[in-house]
Amino acid sequence: MRIRQQHSDEWPAVLDVVRRSFADADHRFVELVERIHNSPDFVEQLSYVAEVNHELLGNIILSKVPLHTQRGVVQARLVAEFGVVPEHRHHGLGSALLRSVLRSAENGMASMVLAAGSPSYYQRFGFRQSTDLGVSSPSAAIPDQHFLMMPLPQYDPVVDRGRPELPSYFAETGVKWPR
């Protein structure tokens, strides 16, 4: 297994992994992932792939989201998409992807990584319910228990509190996110 940054020329292959990982999802989910990729919020250094025998089997994308605080806007990163193709789950690819991209995020400008998903999945990597740290869920559709946050080294617990803003393409694609 090799976990590495996505290369800029392999986006079509990454999108194919997204299609396979979310085969049961609304087709608009893939459209949303494309919108993220084409937006200024996409960070190539925070798009990772899992490769086995030169085949891509999983990927994770952390994108930029603003956190509105009392003292202005703070940069956060969001687990915008994260999947492993069904036939290769339960072999540690997902954990390895998440750990690698989190290490990479530690070297960047953001204060925190946010994620919407299963608390029991994310908590084992150090994520906590964001509201416990003063950061609200960005959407009424995401219950507080399912909105998680991992502080990064730049995190300031006094200042970095507030409300993340999901970029407009989340609503514009009309897809349920997290799917």
Ligand X SMILES: CC(C)(COP(=O)(O)OP(=O)(O)OC[C@H]1O[C@@H](n2cnc3c(N)ncnc32)[C@H](O)[C@@H]1OP(=O)(O)O)[C@@H](O)C(=O)NCCC(=O)NCCS
Residues of this chain that interact with ligand X (CB under 6 A) are 21, 82-84, 89-95, 117-118, 120-121
Q: What is the dihedral angle through the alpha carbons of 54, 81, 28, 91, rounded to the nearest 10 degrees?
A: 50
CB of 72 vs ligand X, minimal distance in Å: 30
Measured from the CB atom, the residue of 76 and 84 that comes closer to ligand X is: 84
Question: CB of residue 85 vs ligand X: minimum separation in angstroms?
Answer: 8
Q: Which is nearer to ligand X, 74 or 148 (CB)?
A: 148
**In this complex, which beta carbon is closest to ligand X, that of residue 96 or of residue 112?**
96
Provide the minimum distance between the beta carbon of 118 and ligand X in the complex, in angstroms, as a whole number. 3
The residue at minimum Cβ distance from ligand X is 94
